[in-house]
Each structure stands twice: as structure tokens, then as C-alpha cells.
Structure 1
Amino acid sequence: MHYQITDWDDAYANGAHIPGAEDYPPRWSRQAAAFRPGHRPLPLGRGHLFLPEGTPRGLMVFVHGGYWMRFEPSVWSHLAAGALAMGWACAIPAYRLAPRARVAQMTTEIARAVAKAAFNVPGPVVLTGHSAGGHLAARMICDGVLPDRLAARIAACVPISPLADLRPLLRTALNDTLCLDPAEALSESPALLTPRQGIPVTTWVGASERPEFIRQARLLADVWAGLGAPTECVIEPGRHHFDVIDGLADPDSPLMRCLLGQIAPR
């Protein structure tokens, strides 16, 4: 059967295809608020840096999603739980949202936040992010984004449901806010850029997500494999776009084992 998009807005609409979608944002906020009193974060600009008990084994960075136009770090505090339980620090950086900032500016802001967090936490660095945050996590390991010394510390990158090719978004109503033009869509699409060599990349996506998100996850893994990166694409059964991140809060989840389970401190 041929796969063809005829309605780009529907192809990238998640909530319309998830039962009870409207309940997820307030649930995330409640879980995050309940988590913070027992795990007081350090400030990371407008973001948060959570530290485990004892010396951190390394740093995990989680970049939140929301189509580059919604949410802020305090909504996602509870997703640091898995990393902390495994002895890792967890940074949840902030970035200015569209339309106040362009996607290219967000890439620069996240790069600065990663550098600041890594300055405060020694050891290996693992990058992850969800949806638009998956895009930004992947951008961090494209050539020329991070300083070489910091890039040498990155042990893995796991973009979750990433938007790897931004060109289709030019055809959506989302672009009324994002204000992408063709040049920026090209220059900010990880799948159209060259990854740094030697960093394992696992794209992670829910099997019940919109076909476009599965295609985009596969695309990034396939294209970067062709450019010499060690890649894998995991399609997690039973997960959709809003619950595919739940595993970050569980140190025993397949997602957390992929992220941190095989990485030894340096």
C-alpha cells in the first residue's frame, strides 16, 4: 500500500488521535509539582538541574517538546526520576518558544544550556528529548553545534519521537506560529545534516503514534546510519505520543536501560 500525505495538519496532529489527550498536560503538571519538593532542583537559567545523592555518574539532558511553542521545564520535573534513581544528574533546560524565537535560536539556546549543565556535572553526557525536544537533542550532535571538548563527552543520544525533517511542517498551520522558511527548514533538519562520528543514536517512538512520527524516527536513524553513525530505531509497543516518555520516570524501563544502562562513568 502506498503511503501518501494528503492532510499535513492531520498528519502532525497528536491530540486528535489520543483518547483523553486533554488530560495529559494537567497530569504532567501535577506529577511534576509533586516530585519537586523531594528533589529540589538547582537553577539552570530558566531550566532545572536535578542532582542525585552522592557524586553523579554523569549527566542526562532532557529537552521538552510542545512543537517549539508550548510548555516549560517545570511541567516535566518528574521525568528526572529515572536518571536520579540510577545515580545520574538530570538537566531540563528552557528555551524561548515560537513565535518569540526561531527554531535556529532555540538550537543555540539549548547548546548553551547543555554546556552550562555539563560544566557543573562531570562525566559522560547523554542527550534525549521528546518531539520538538527530540529534534533539539538530535541537533546537539550535528557537526558544529557543540564545542569539540563537550561533544567528546557525549556517550549517547536518544531522540524520542523526533521531528527530524522540518520541511513537511512548512505545509501545516503550525508554521503560522513557527514562521519557518525553506532555508531554515533545511538548515535545522537533523536528517539533512551530518552527525558527529562515534556517538550512538537510538531514535525511540511509540508504535501507536501518528505514521509521520514513526517515519521521521526511522528516517533519522536510516540517514545517519548511512553517514557512519551507529544507529537504531526502537518502536515501543503500546505507546502513543503522549505516554512514550513515561519510561523516563522508571529506572527499570526499556527506555532508561537504553539511555543509561550500558554507560560506564568516565
Structure 2
Amino acid sequence: MTMDHDRAYANGAFIAGADSYPPRWEAAARAFRAALGPCARLALPYGPQDRQRFDLFLPETQPRGLLVFVHGGYWMAFGRESWSHLAAGALARGWACAMPSYTLAPAATIPAMTQEIAHALATASAQMPGLPLVVTGHSAGGHLAARMGCTDLSLAIQPARVVPISPLADLTPLLHSRMNDTLGLTPQDARAESPALHALRPGTSAHIWVGGQERPAFLWQARALSEAWGCPWTVAPGRHHFDVIDGLADPASPLCAACFDGI
């Protein structure tokens, strides 16, 4: 049987009320920023391009470290503005949280996005030198977060931990999907940009997170990365691709524990 890669990586078609999630995310993020007042530093540049900006959210006390969250959208959609509320868990634990946007396809290639996130990490970390850095991200952002843990990538600052959530860890199946008409992945780039085909950076720990109700392809991707890196992976019961990230807003959640415990 030939695999239908478009169906395998379709998420919204298999989530009830999928269309209601983006406006809810945007409303929650907007309210969170407004309530945070001066502890929200918005649209800080990490490069010269329009989308090379990050928002930095600060706790009320001296930060214990920095969490960077990289948004998803199959490298083709969304921006940092939709996810601000997910910083709540980090702030309650005394951590700062940075959320970068990055140039989307087709204006940028995935290798270029990887480099943009590397620059965002360096710029955001310079705001609080000497503090530990944890990188997480969801879906395509999970891929980019995982890339920050790969040995082949030269970084100005090394993450203490990476926690990819529902990551795309092996990009080679996407070569056979219609989305590649926009992504423009070559076979060489697909292999080079696949975290599951690289070793985990020495000195960086990792924990892979995925929802139990996600598409089988995402469960496979998460397990493949966990096996390649020899690190733990958690299948969150009852969570699908759109609500698997909700735990980031709750400081007591198992997902927050996976990000911060032991750091």
C-alpha cells in the first residue's frame, strides 16, 4: 500500500472544532500580553528582517533562566503573537520566556529558519547572560527546537535542555507531500535538517513530548527522535496536536516539569 503523506501529516482534519483553536490562541495571547504590562518586552530584533523579532516575558523576580518557545505552523504559518499565554508556566516558575518569529516558507528555506532560530537564541540569551537556556517548540517549532540540540549546528550559546513537542524529526517523508511545493525541500536539505539523523549535542539533555491522540505519523516522529538520541519520550494521554502544548501555561503540569526539572 502506498502511503498518503498528505493525509498522514494532516492534523486539523482529525481534530473536532479545529477551526476554533487559532482565534482562541490569539485572544488568550493578546490578553496575557496586556495583563503583563511592562514585564512584556515586545518585538525585540534579532536580525534585520521583518519577522526576525522576539517577545520577551519576564517574571516578577530575578529570572532563574530563559525558556525559548518556537511556534509551529509547518514552517508556513503563524507567528510569535499567537502563543504568548504559553509563557505563563515558565513565569510562575521564575523563568523568563522568549518567543521568536521567523521567516516563513516560501520566503525562507528550512535551513535558513534553523539559522534564524540560532540567532534568536543568542540574542535573547544575551539579555540574561550566564543563566541556563531551555528550548522548546511545537510541531515545526518542535523541529527547530530539536535542531538546537544537534551536534552539526554551530551555536553561540548551548541549550542546557531541549524539549521538542510533537516534532517533525525526520523530514524525508515530507518530500512526498504537497506542502513541499511551498517548503522547497531538497533531498539533501531534508536529510541535513532532520534531527533524528543527527546526534544530540554533548552537555544538552532532551525530553520528547507528543500527544496520545495525535496522528500516527507524529507518534512515529517522536519515537524516532527519542530512539536516535537515547532520551525519554512522553506520550501525553488524551492530547491531540492542538492541545498538547497547553501544559506550558501550567507551572504544575508534567510538560513544565519536563522542561525545567533538574535544570
Give TM-score, length-normalised by structure 1. 0.92
Instruction: Give the conservation status (yes or no) of the 8 Å contact 1:89–1:121.
Output: no
Q: Quote the residue 1:51 is aligned against.
A: 58
- Taking the TM superposition and a 5 Å limit, the aligned residue runs for 1:160-179 are 160-179=165-184
1:128 pairs, out of 136, 140, 160, with 136
Q: SS at the partner of 1:49? A: strand
Q: Quote the residue 2:104 is aligned against.
A: 97
- Taking the TM superposition and a 5 Å limit, the aligned residue runs for 1:231-250 are 231-250=231-250
Q: SS at the partner of 1:61? A: strand
Q: Quote the residue 1:16 is aligned against.
A: 13
Deviations 1:152-192 (A, max 9, x none): xx221100000000000011111111011101101111111
1:63 pairs, out of 70, 85, 103, with 70
Q: Quote the residue 1:214 is aligned against.
A: 219
Q: Distance in 2 between matches of 1:146 and 1:188?
A: 13
Q: SS at the partner of 1:120? A: coil
> Against the structure 1 CA distance between its residues 119 and 5, is the aligned structure 2 distance closer, same or farther, given a 3 Å change threshold?
farther
1:158 aligns with 2:163: yes
1:37 aligns with 2:39: no
Q: Distance in 2 between matches of 1:242 and 1:259?
A: 19
2:194 pairs, out of 184, 189, 199, with 189
Instruction: Give the conservation status (yes or no) of the 8 Å contact 1:50–1:91.
Output: yes
Unaligned residue ranges in structure 2 (runs of 5+)? 46-52
Instruction: Give the conservation status (yes or no) of the 8 Å contact 2:199–2:228.
Output: no
Q: CA RMSD in A?
A: 1.2
Residue 193 of structure 1: CA displacement?
A: 1.5
1:259 aligns with 2:227: no
1:111 aligns with 2:118: yes
2:85 pairs, out of 68, 78, 92, with 78
> Against the structure 1 CA distance between its residues 173 and 164, is the aligned structure 2 distance closer, same or farther, given a 3 Å change threshold?
same
Unaligned residue ranges in structure 1 (runs of 5+)? 226-230
Residue 54 of structure 1: CA displacement?
A: 1.7
Q: Distance in 2 between matches of 1:156 and 1:162?
A: 15
Which runs of 4 or more aligned residues in structure 1 lie more than 3 Å from their structure 2 counterparts after TM superposition? none
Residue 198 of structure 1: CA displacement?
A: 2.8
What code does the residue aligned with 2:145 have?
A: A
Q: Distance in 2 between matches of 1:146 and 1:205?
A: 27
> Against the structure 1 CA distance between its residues 53 and 184, is the aligned structure 2 distance closer, same or farther, given a 3 Å change threshold?
same
**Identity percentage over the alignment?**
58
